[in-house]
Structure 1
Amino acid sequence: MDTLLAKDQIYKPKLEAVREAAQRISKVVLKTPLAESFTYSKRFQANVMLKREDLQQVRSYKIRGAYNKISSLTQDQLKKGVICASAGNHAQGVAFACNKLEVNGVIYMPITTPRQKVEQTQMFGGEWVKVILKGDTYDDSFKSAMKHMDKFGLVFIHPFDDEKVIEGQATIALEILEQVDVPIDYVFAPLGGGGLLAGLSTVFKQLSPKTKIIGVEPAGAASMSTSLKEGKIVELPFIERFVDGAAVQKVGSRNFAICKENLDDMITVPEGKICQTILDLYNQDAIVVEPAGAMALSALDQYAEEIKGKNVVCMVSGSNNDITRTAEIKERALLYAGIKHYFIISFPQRAGALKEFVAKVLGPNDDITHFEYSKKHHRENGPAVVGIELSDPADFGPLVERMKKKNFYGEYLNDKPNLFQFLV
């Protein structure tokens, strides 16, 4: 779609179509709670409400768009079968819909997709779907799926750049507005390809025009932010794949056109901050979320002053998190907080050097969490990779000063991603 078309030529979900979608999906999609978060309400002195799409049957809102699209196909299209590409949540929505509607489906997923999401997709689809792992990113899987579609004549179910998918996601906005008895001042929602915010923002602009709609995406995959700044769709050459549910190199053309007109702000949040939010939600509220599901809440710090005393809705978009990622999530959170640091330490090749480092360089509350050393030469000093966890970020400066004073300091690794990626 040409994003330079006149405004009256740009596709926008019509309320009638969204209401039809709500009716079409009502038998399989749960009306999820809109619950006040006491933790975040107190922290930000606001009425913060969570739209709990993590409680859907497939543990994300993606079932809305997928089911609405597939159930709207003709009988001839359904007989041909469907195909999609997804980093996980859309795949589960498509798989569930295929099983429910008894439609054959082929689902392409990146090889890097967490195993939990692959297994869940296979479980929801049963005998009706075939899962194919291909490529390192969603965009790689998408290209492979398109080739498969052309070869076998299947109907492609796009995860975000499709009118019926957008209308399905927009049903969330109808639910939110039905569930509140106060005016909503702000809505924060995650953005990957843009389908959710395209639909949600269109409904709010018609039914609650004073509500400010804030899009949130990961700093390492800021495809919409970059595109909005450039005034055109930009395909990012490289993205950080950690937030797999929102890591796309290129947003949808329909969604870009809608978001360009409807969003009041488009912001990014660091992956480390997202990890800290995941841990906070689990430890404080017993809510399990995936990285994309934590993005909206992770953005509230950037709006702390604006939302005081306001009614705020945050989308908790999904909970498909693989427990094997917990260690990485904790590590990234500690790094973001300035508590975990990695160094190359230059140890003198003499007895007692390590003891001196522990006794005279480390602070009383500092802890060594990683130590990698191998003596392979007879030089005066030998390097070791050391990970140190602090109790307070303010202890970092004094620690480095002591290292240098005692001639242990070699190199700081946290800000050297090409080296640091081997440690995390």
Structure 2
Amino acid sequence: MPYFPSIADIRSAAETISQVASLTPLTQSIRLSERYGANIMLKREDLHQVRSYKIRGAFNKINSLTEKERQNGIVCASAGNHAQGVAFACNHLGIKGTIYMPSVTPKQKIEQTQMFGGDWVEVVLEGDTFDDSFKSSMNFCIENNKTFIHPFDDPKVIEGQGTVGLELLQQFNQPIDYIFAAVGGGGLVSGLIGVFKPLSPSTKIIGVEPEGAPSMKTSIEKGVNTELSAIDKFIDGAAVQKVGDLTFSICKDNLSDMVVVPEGKVCQTILDLYNRDAIVVEPAGALTIATLDSYAEEIKGKNVVCILSGSNNDITRTAEIKERALLFAKLKHYFIVRFPQRPGALKQFVAEILGPDDDITHFEYSKKSSRENAPAIVGIELKRPEDLRPLMDRMKANNFFGDYLNDKPDLFQYLI
């Protein structure tokens, strides 16, 4: 029989993780509840000591090791949150660990991992994606006869993550109609399915992935666990090229829906949560809120839980988050502008071409040729999306227009 998490094992995991993890709050979002005409509850998994739910599965797995396995040490691969859970568990239990992380992991996550692990862990930066780190860590693990702590495709990890579901049933004394949960490798949603299928089968569990890394959605649609050839790594906590075999088996027949959200919409959600609710989340932590618009009609009048999976965000990413949000909202646009090589050309562009609410936010120009027109790369922020067409018309009418770069990804990637 294929593996399926049992209630007994998830309850046992809850006893285990009570050593290191407190009950996280379930709070109503008044803003979101009013916006969607529903009772929107936020499960604050971002408030763990390691600032994500990953402590649950990591500690449950590591605590289950034999004495010989503990002495040999453990290895894991992670984009950041699982690494911190493993590091914390290693320090707490006195077990040596080697933690592989992608070289592009935000500095904040690396430093937190080292802090939680102390002298018990070594951090190795390897590869550009989680999958790169995973392959390197597995080779190291086999060569050194250590135990691998998988971030999602392990029964003990899945059962640990499933304790989120037990807490929800304990905290909310009404039927839960919808649960929205982020999907990276699928450990969290698999654990939730293990709880709600037997105890609350009417609850719909919706998995949410980044649009740029739809590994679970692609696999479910194809009917086979599929490795993506390339992914967008921005939402690092949920960007994997292939989900787990165990988690795919559980999710393909039991998830109510598997949806994706554009990275730009996630960025705007991060900004809204910070500015309006004083909640700091990482990109993966905002996925569940970002998808509510696509369910607006279905959730009216319903009890809805959104799991905020983590808050390990690096403040140095704020500029990129804002940029992606503006691009998604169609308020930020990049052009090649051909300025006539005569005095006053830039002044004319500002005075006659830009609209009254338009703002230049990026400008690169070098006068290195004697040609009649010299190009500049110009980024312009608009107040309204509908201001774009009139702006382009004015540029063309006055011979300033060179090219529009937002629709040219090969060039655009060098700007963003």
Q: Give the TM-score, by structure 2 length.
A: 0.99
Give the counterpart of 2:166 among 143, 163, 174.
174
The question of whether the paired residues in 2 share the 8 Å contact of 1:202 and 1:262 is answered with: no
- What residue is the counterpart of 2:153 in the other structure? 161
CA distance in 2, matches of 1:69, 1:417: 42
Aligned partner (choices 30, 36, 43) of residue 35 of structure 2 = 43
Matches within 5 A, 1:381-392: 381-392=373-384
Greater mean deviation of Cα atoms: 312-321 or 376-385? 376-385
**Alpha-carbon distance, 1:202 to partner:** 2.2
Q: Which runs of 4+ in 1 moved over 6 A?
A: none
Task: Report the number of matched residues.
Answer: 416
Q: How far did residue 283 of structure 1 move?
A: 0.2
What is the aligned partner in structure 2 of residue 6 from structure 1? none
Structure 2 unaligned segments of length 5 or more: list them.
none
1:415 aligns to 2:407 (yes or no)? yes
Superposed displacement of residue 20, structure 1: 0.2
Instruction: Report whether the alignment pairs 1:340 with 2:336.
Output: no
Question: 1:85 aligned to 2:77?
Answer: yes
Tell me if 1:298 matches 2:287. no
Q: What letter matches 1:293 in structure 2?
A: G
Aligned partners of 2:22, 2:109: CA distance in 1, in Å? Answer: 20
Match of 1:308 in 2: 300
Amino acid at match of 1:58: V
Q: 1:356-381 CA deviation, whole Å, 9 max, x = no partner?
A: 11111111000000010001111111
The Cα offsets for residues 377-401 of structure 1, whole Å up to 9 and x where unpaired, read as 1111111000000111111111111
Given residue 389 of structure 2, which amino acid in structure 1 is its aligned partner? G
* 1:169-197 deviation line (CA, Å, top 9, x unaligned): 00000000110021111100000000011
Cα shift at 1:415: 1.7
- Note the alpha carbon deviations across 1:306-333, whole angstroms, 9 max, x for none: 1111110001000000010000001100
SS at match of 2:322: helix
Q: Percent identity?
A: 67
Alignment deviations for residues 184-224 of structure 1 (CA, whole Å, 9 cap, x no partner): 11100000000011111221111111111110000011111
SS at match of 2:212: helix
2:142 paired residue number: 150
Between the aligned partners of 1:181 and 1:397, the Cα distance in structure 2 is 52
Which ranges of structure 1 fall in alignment gaps of 5 or more residues? 1-8
Q: What is the root-mean-square deviation of aligned Cα atoms in Å?
A: 0.7
Moved more, 17-26 or 375-384: 375-384
Please list, as runs of the form range in 1=range in 2, the aligned pairs for 1:62-211 lying within 5 A after superposition.
Answer: 62-211=54-203
In 1: Cα distance, 2:78 partner to 2:400 partner: 48
Pairs within 5 Å for 1:272-283: 272-283=264-275
Equivalent AA in structure 1 for residue 391 of structure 2: L
> Which of 244, 255, 265 is 1:263 aligned to?
255
Offset at residue 348 of structure 1 (A)? 1.2
Match of 1:3 in 2: none
1:346 Cα deviation from its structure 2 partner = 1.2
Give the 3-state SS of the residue equivalent to 2:237 in structure 1. Answer: coil
Q: Matches of 1:61 and 1:123 in 2, distance apart?
A: 18
Q: TM-score, normalised by structure 1?
A: 0.97
